[in-house]
Every structure is written in structure tokens, then in C-alpha cells.
Amino acid sequence: MNMLVTAAGVMRVAACRTLGVQRLAPLAAVVSTLIACGAGSSAAWSATAPQAAHADASDDSAFASFDLGMLKSRGIDPKVADFFGRAPRFSEGTRRVTLTVNGRSQGNVEVHFDAEGHVCFNQMLLNQAQLKTPDSRYKSNDSSATPDEDCYDFVAAYPQTEIVLLPNREEVSLLVSSDALRPFSEDVNVYQTGGIAGMFNYEILGLNTQFSGSSSRYYSTDTELGVNAGDWILRSRQSYSAQNESERFQSLYTYAQKTFAPIASTLQVGQINIRNSVFPGEAITGLQLVPEAGLQPKSLGGATVQGIAQSQARVEVRQSGALVHTSLVPSGPFTLPNVQLLNSFTDLDCAGGRIQWREHRLQCLRPPWFRRSLTRTWLFHGCRR
């Protein structure tokens, strides 16, 4: 055994000397020298091995050792060996990566990594991943950082969180418990606001008819003007028609509109049409405050599935044999809220890979029969036109 180790050591030295003779690019030379002179496990160099963001960086098993004396003799800073000696990780700074949460892609987002390659859970990342903002006691102690730059210890706030980093594929995968996810009604945080834009739509029609002894002319113009500025929408539509000596001009509507996301409602002021089931389409000059359908919670009519996973697993929910929901869950108790069903009277069939259900703990709750109307008007006031 001693002879084998000595022979391996001699081979490494010989390889190092051979590399010293070759003319390589600076970075390639450093990497080649480290690989030749290192004595670490193959797992330390695996480019595809996932790295948990909350893993202990001091774990000796995640390091590869190098001959620091030989590195110094070749003019290589020993700190380089410390960087390449660890498992693959992201370099410090902000990078655009592919983000997945519980197996669902969230697209390409900008993620900040610290000096250890750990994910910084700042407000921008929490918004993109649709995760709840932890309490202020989990915030970093960097007093110079702005609120958007503050990092939260998300794993401490939600201990079931599992983070997988794939630097070679520029991917970050998060597996979080259901209580760490935001309700669907808070999805507006991922949209951008502001900007200035204008629009002009028109439709022109002209007819000139001639027949024996007389003629007839008809002209019609329909225009719509619009401006978007400061999260306000201005719209105005008019129509003009002329037939022979008769002319008519009509203002169909002119109003200003603004959406208030915190209360999920839209305010309209000016010449408007009432959005109400009692007075449908009635034209008034005034104002109305109505629910914004696009901001209403999507949980109405959804079912809740509860269970316990002994390890990370994939859960599938079926109804009448059709797959209606699938998700990844971390180990431990989990809840799948807002599962949209095909109907409200057929039982659900829940199954998953690598899951051991606790007896009588799997519940498939049917949605409530009562559903709130999204078209009712909260408030309107004005006079008829």
C-alpha cells in the first residue's frame, strides 16, 4: 500500500513538472496545475453534483487538498486552491439563472450570491419566486444595504426549505413547504408598473350612391384616443356620421381609470357605463369602483390536499382518472392548497413517489358551494347621460 501511494505521488510530481514545461493560458495553467497536484475525491470535482446552499462550508469532505508549497513555487496564490478545492458553486455577485420552485419553472431571474456561493434571498428574489417575506428578525445585519438588497435567512425561517445549486447549468432549484408560498392573490408583485404610451384607433366609411335623378352620400367616422401615464388610463371614443345634409356627433365615453392592487379594485371617473347586474350598460357621468377580475384570488373553488412525506417526493392529484395537479414537496407534513378541480362532487385520488402516507391523514377537501361574484359593483355614483 505504501508503494502504491508513493508511486501515485511520484506520478503527480511528474505531471506537475510536465505542466510547468507546457505553454498554457494563465487560467488553464492554474486549473491544470491544481488538478494535477490535488489529492481530493472525485466528488469534489463533479460538475453536476448539487450543492445545498445551507451546507456547512467547513465540512472537510467537500474540500480537495493541494500542495501549497508547490503552488507558491509556481507563482500561484494559495487562495486560488481554496476556491477550486471546494465543491462547484456560483461565484460572488449577481447572475441570471433559471429558477424553479417545487418543480415549477419561474423563468430566468437575477439572483445574488455571496462570497461562499450561497443564495441571497432578497426582496427581488422573493417576489420572483412567489415566496413569503420572512420576519425582520431573519434579515441580514448589513446596515448599509437598502431594503431591496437585504438578505433573509430563508432556511431559518422555513426549515423545510431545500436548495439545490447547479452552477454548470446556471440553475437554482428551491423546494419549499406550502406555508412559505404566497397566496395567488399576491402575484401582482412580479409585474412592473409605470411608463407612458398613447394609442389612436379609427374607422372611416364613405358611401356615394347615384341613381336616376338623384344621389346620396353617407360618411361615418369612429375614433378612439388613449393615453397611459403614471398608472392611469385615459380613454375617449367618439363617433361622427353625415348623411346628405344631416350630421351627428356623439361622445360614447370619456373616462380616466386606475387600478388599486392592494384592494383589487378599479376606479373609473368620467362618462362611463355601469358594470352592475341591476343597471347593465347604463351610461352615466360620475364614478364607479368595481372589483378587478384579474386580481381576484384564484383559490375560490379549490380543494386542499394534506399529507406527510418521509422524504422529498412528487405528489400527483387525480380526479376521475385525470391529472389535475402535480407538485414537488419537501420531507415532512405538507399542504397543497387551491387545487383546481374538474367538478365539486367527484372524490380525489392522491398518490406520489417515495411517499409514505400516515393512515387517516390524507384529506381531500371539496370546494365550497358558494362562490363570490366577480362582476358586482362595489360603488357607483353619477347622473344619467
Residue 220 sits in the same domain as residue 237: yes
Nearest to 362 by CA among 304, 305, 321: 305
Give the pLDDT confidence of 114-138 residue by residue, as tens digits: 888 889 999 889 988 889 989 888 8
Are residues 289 and 201 part of one domain?
Answer: yes
The answer as to whether 187 is a domain residue is: no
Q: Are residues 236 and 380 in the same domain?
A: yes
189 part of a folded domain: no
In the prediction, which pLDDT does 307 show?
Answer: 77
What percent of the chain lies above the pLDDT cut of 90?
A: 17
- 161 phi and psi angles, rounded to 5 deg: -65, 135
Residue 36 lies in a domain: yes
Residues 262 and 380 grouped into a single domain: yes
Widest pairwise Cα distance in the chain? 121
| Backbone angles phi and psi of 359, in degrees to 5 | -60, 135
100 lies in the same domain as 45: no
Q: For a pLDDT cut of 70, what percent of the chain falls above it? A: 63
Looking at residue 356, what is its pLDDT? 45
Higher pLDDT, 59 or 65: 65
CATH at residue 326: 2.60.40.3110
Residue with the larger pLDDT of the pair 296 and 73: 73
Does pLDDT of 349 surpass 90?
no
Per the model's pLDDT, the better-predicted residue between 312 and 228 turns out to be 228
Query: Do 250 and 380 fall into the same domain?
Result: yes
72: helix, strand or coil: helix
Name the more confident of 329 and 84: 329
Q: Residue 331 CB: number of other CB atoms within 10 A? A: 17
- Count: domains in the chain: 4
Is the domain of 104 the same as that of 79? no
What is residue 80's predicted lDDT score, i.e. its pLDDT?
A: 72
pLDDT of 70 higher than 60: yes
76 and 102 share a domain? no
CATH number, residue 166: 3.10.20.410
Range of the domain at 335: 303-365
| 118 and 254 part of one domain | no
User: What is the reported pLDDT for 99?
Assistant: 92
Instruction: For residue range 187-236, list pLDDT tens digits in order.
Output: 555 566 778 999 999 999 998 888 887 888 899 999 999 999 988 999 99
For residue 27, is it within any domain?
Answer: yes
383 three-state secondary structure: strand
Residue 41 contacts residue 64 (beta carbons within 8 Å): yes
Q: Tell whether 245 and 380 lie within a shared domain.
A: yes
Q: Which long-range contacts (CB under 8 A, 24 or more apart) does 363-371 make?
A: 363/304, 363/305, 363/306, 364/303, 364/304, 364/305, 364/317, 365/303, 365/304, 365/305, 366/303, 366/341, 367/300, 367/301, 367/302, 367/303, 367/341, 368/301, 369/344, 371/300, 371/301
Q: 279 pLDDT band (50/70/90 cuts)?
A: low
Q: Give the CA angle between residues 358, 364, 369 to the nearest 5°.
A: 160
For 366, phi and psi rounded to 5 degrees?
A: -75, 150
Within a domain: 144: yes
The pLDDT of residue 183 is 73
In this predicted structure, which of 19-28, 87-96, 317-326 has the lowest mean pLDDT?
A: 19-28
| Residue 218 shares a structural domain with residue 311 | no
pLDDT digit string, tens, across residues 83-112:
676 667 788 888 899 999 988 888 888 999
Same domain for 380 and 259? yes
In a domain? residue 214: yes
The whole-model pTM stands at 0.48
Residue 49 clears pLDDT 90, i.e. is over it: no
